[in-house]
Amino acid sequence: MSVDPLLGSLSGIFSHEFMRSAFLAGTGIAAACGVVGYFLVLRAQVFTGDALSHVAFTGALAALAAGVDLRFGLFGATIAVGIGIGLLGQSARADDVVIGSVFAWMMGLGVLFLSIYISGSSGSNGSNGTAGVSVLFGSILGLSPVAAVAAAAVGLGVCALILLVARPLLFSSVDEAVAAAAGVPVRALGIGFLAIVGLTAAETTQAVGALLLLGLLTAPAAAAIRLTTRPSRGIALSAGLAILATWAGLAFSYAVPSAPPSFAIVGAATVVYGLASLRASRA
């Protein structure tokens, strides 16, 4: 597609209610991913985010198999497992063995719930089938205005929670032993952070799906860490890059309807990280 037709197709992007809702929800979700992802990368807990992405799918399948709203399973499972991983790990920093064990257990449960979902009466419902696919690949363009406002509110709430504990969380992330000696509740802080990661993972599933949410959580944050060593600037830059990637992905998906928005958003985030890495290596 040449430049002129592309710009022409983008000119009426906000004339559609579904695009306005997508940009509203995407902005809140991306900001939360950027802020949470910064600490997730800084604390070397990226594998935890990967595990929670599979938990999101398993929880949604469990809710669908039980015939209830998938969001109950989606949010309940990710938050509960996030807390569980924190409780199992030393100082709420789960090692690879804990995360890998939880990962395998969740995958096994996912297979079980998928079997129940397909063979049960709920599996014959076409709308439920669509809901199951949306959990895997995201459905940000299908959000209603009410759901978009709720998603944006949750995203802003996550940002507020992280900023509220940013100083002690940064202290414990950089030097856990000294932070504990200084009286910082390292374990409680770590468990609370993983609960917020679970909440963010559940919310992000609406935008990019369980399969791709790790890209939006980590790529902008990793890019920000490559570009600056100042924490306050890094947090702001991570959120800004995540929002930029989401906006660019939505615009590209609108201009090229054959490109799924989840692919476009994560693709834009990957490009952002690649450019940041290139700049950092040259510097």
The DSSP string of 27-76 is HHHHHHHHHHHHHHHHTT-HHHHHHHHHHHHHHHHHHHHHTS-HHHHHHH
pLDDT at 105 (0 to 100): 78
Tell me the one-letter amino acid at 181. A
Contact criterion met (CB below 8 Å) for 136 and 144: no
The answer on pLDDT for 191 being more than 50 is yes
Tell me the one-letter amino acid at 202. A
Q: Do you know the residue count of the chain? A: 283
The answer on pLDDT for 124 being more than 90 is no
Between 12 and 274, name the one with better pLDDT.
274
Between 107 and 272, name the one with better pLDDT.
272
What are the beta bridge partners of residue 41?
none
The answer on pLDDT for 11 being more than 70 is no
| Band of residue 210 on the pLDDT scale cut at 50, 70, 90 | confident
Between 131 and 113, name the one with better pLDDT.
113
The answer on pLDDT for 2 being more than 60 is no
Q: Where are the extended beta strands (E) located within 108-198?
A: none
Q: Provide CB contacts within 8 A for 79, sequence distance 6+.
A: 195, 198, 199, 202
Q: Which two tokens stand for residue 16?
A: 């559609």
Highest mean pLDDT among 2-6, 96-100, 204-208, 256-260: 256-260
Tell me the one-letter amino acid at 155. G
146-167 pLDDT, tens digit per residue, is 989 999 999 999 999 999 999 9
* Least confidently predicted of 70-79, 120-129, 170-179, 273-282: 120-129
Between 226 and 111, name the one with better pLDDT.
226
Domains of the chain: residue spans and CATH: 5-282 (1.10.3470.10)
pLDDT at 136 (0 to 100): 67
Between 143 and 39, name the one with better pLDDT.
39
pLDDT at 123 (0 to 100): 44
* Least confidently predicted of 38-47, 104-113, 138-147: 104-113
The answer on pLDDT for 265 being more than 60 is yes
Concatenate the DSSP letters of all residues of 110-130 into one string: HHHHHHHHHHSGGGG-HHHHH
Between 24 and 282, name the one with better pLDDT.
24
The answer on pLDDT for 114 being more than 60 is yes
Q: Which two tokens stand for residue 38?
A: 């910064």
State whether residue 183 is helix, strand or coil: coil
